[in-house]
Amino acid sequence: MVHVERDVVAESTTTVVRALKRRVDLGRMSSDDAVDVAIVQLMRPGGPRLADDEWARLRTSLSTRAKALAPPTTKALYVFAKEAAASAWALHHPGRSPSTSLRERAANGTVRSAAEAAVYAELMHARDDDDLVRRAVTRALGARRRGLAGRAVPLEAGDPLRAVLALPAQGRVRVPRGDVRGVIADAAVKTPALGGLLREVAAFSRDALEDALGDELWSLCRPVGFSDRQRTRVLIVTTSSVAAQEAQLRSRELHHRLRHVPGLERIVGVKVAVDAAAFARVLGAT
């Protein structure tokens, strides 16, 4: 089986964007707030390793770029997050020698770099080329077994539950033992009824809906669930009668956009209601 190199910049971008959107929903976000959020997310385990002075330089660079977040539209947040992730990974220190980070490279599925690290580590110990290959393979496999800590998440690539559980959309994923995300994923696979319900919830997550609706509709209303037992109509809530009237006038557009969301392909319409409390609850949850 051929393993694909992790797109670490894309993974970090997704993590930063998600955190920035939550911060925006909590209220006004300054450029300093945006920089703080990005730095904290990039410093999470598994992210790029930078020296203290490099983190300081990155913060200064991001402070200038964060001025473009006025207003913090979805596109502006994504561009800022991608620039932050790319800049951080460009400064990443994988280790002083090819063998320093063998376990990390093997665990992340980066086959070429792991092979190079294993060969380097065994180069001075091998009797000949054949012995070098055997030693390198044994060392790389051992490092991979040791590096695969935690538990594998049994969700296929592209499964909507990955977004809800804040996991990468593609590639193999492992989480620490005891991580509730692993428990939820296992339950979703072992109990199809529960899995179906959780994926229904996933269809109404911010990650699934915001891009589909666009900034204008997303600020106007929120899809919160189904309005009928057959699950053919989506319930749309707004904060006022004026907003509800506008959403109703755009109900065909809402219907068309929502049908592109995985899990909502078969809906036949929408129902608009004024429910400021429900809108606020959804805002807090995202």
Please report the pLDDT score of residue 99 as a whole number. Answer: 43
What pLDDT is attached to residue 110?
Answer: 52
**Could you tell me whether strands 222-226 and 233-238 are parallel, antiparallel, or unpaired per DSSP bridges?**
antiparallel
* Interatomic CA distance for residues 89 and 280, integer angstroms: 36
Instruction: Please determine, for residue 136, whether its predicted confidence score (pLDDT) is greater than 90.
Output: no
- Model confidence pTM above 0.75: no
Please give the Cα distance from 166 to 197 (Å, whole number): 18
Higher pLDDT, 253 or 72: 253
Mean pLDDT lowest among 25-34, 45-54, 163-172, 254-263: 163-172
Domains of the chain: which residue ranges?
8-90, 102-147, 151-201, 206-285
* Amino acid 6: pLDDT: 54
What residues are paired with 270 via a beta bridge? 234
Percent of the chain exceeding pLDDT 70 equals 78
Instruction: Tell me the pLDDT tens digit for each residue of 160-186.
Output: 888 778 777 777 777 777 788 888 888
pLDDT above 60 (res 146): no
Q: Token digits for 84? A: 């932050």
Q: How far is Cα 112 from Cα 218, in angstroms, rounded to an integer?
A: 43
Question: What confidence category does residue 234 fall into, taking pLDDT thresholds of 50, 70 and 90?
Answer: very high
What 3-state class would DSSP assign to 222? strand
Residue 35 has pLDDT above 60, yes or no: yes
- Output the CA torsion 150→107→174→44 (10° steps): 90
Q: Which residue has the higher pLDDT, 270 or 147?
A: 270
Q: Which amino acid is at 51?
A: A
Comparing 106 with 86, the larger pLDDT belongs to 86
Query: Is pLDDT above 70 for 94?
Result: no
**pLDDT score for 44:** 80
Q: Confidence class of residue 145 from pLDDT cuts 50, 70 and 90?
A: low
Please say whether the beta carbons of 176 and 150 come within 8 A: yes
More confident residue, 134 or 154: 154
Residue 229 confidence (pLDDT) above 60: yes
58 pLDDT above the threshold of 90: yes
The mean pLDDT value for 261-286 works out to 78
- CA 114 to CA 74: how far, in whole Å? 37
Q: How confident is the model at residue 142 (pLDDT cuts 50, 70, 90)?
A: low
pLDDT at 78 over 80: yes
Rounded CA gap, 104 and 225, in Å? 41
**Higher local confidence (pLDDT), 210 or 98:** 210
User: Can you tell me the distance from the alpha carbon of 144 to that of 239, in angstroms, rounded to the nearest whole number?
Assistant: 52
Structure token pair of residue 124: 């001075």
Long-range contacts of 59-62 (CB under 8 A, 24+ apart): 59/35, 61/87, 62/34, 62/35, 62/38, 62/87
Mean pLDDT, all residues of the chain = 80
